[in-house]
Amino acid sequence: MMVVPFRPDHLDLVALQPAQAYLRANVSRGHAEFAATHPSFSGFVGDEIVGCAGILPCWENRALAWSWIGAAAGRHMVAITRAVRQFLDAQPYRRVEITVDVDFDAGHRWAEMLGFRLEAVRMKAFRPDGGDSSLYARVRA
């Protein structure tokens, strides 16, 4: 997998996994442009983007991490996980948060593989489409 700096047009090129398909209608070009002004990257295998990820600061010691994972990313998840873990380890934030759709078991497993711990089991109507999410955090001692 080749890792390159994230560009806003990369989101248009990701064939999203079904669990994240709702994001396509809810993330604007402005969101993507904002994300590109903060630490973020995209992973390519050949000409195909298998995912994009980044981090958005909230304040000095807290940030929100995000990712868009492609439907064909499955066979590349070891490389993707390694790249995301290295990226997160290099960030200066003491606390990094992510949300995972409540019913997305693979997302919950991946969050734990990345070192996140479950803090809120169900945040009702959290997603832009009204779905429920769980909150995870990765906190450095």
pLDDT digits (tens, 9 = 90+) for 31-56: 999 999 999 999 999 999 999 999 99
Q: What confidence category does residue 104 fall into, taking pLDDT thresholds of 50, 70 and 90?
A: very high
CATH architecture of 2-139: 3-Layer(aba) Sandwich (3.40)
pTM over 0.75: yes
Residue 9 pLDDT class (50, 70, 90 cuts) = very high
The mean per-residue pLDDT over the stretch 87-100 comes to 97
Assign 97 to helix, strand or coil: strand
Q: What is the pLDDT of residue 28?
A: 87
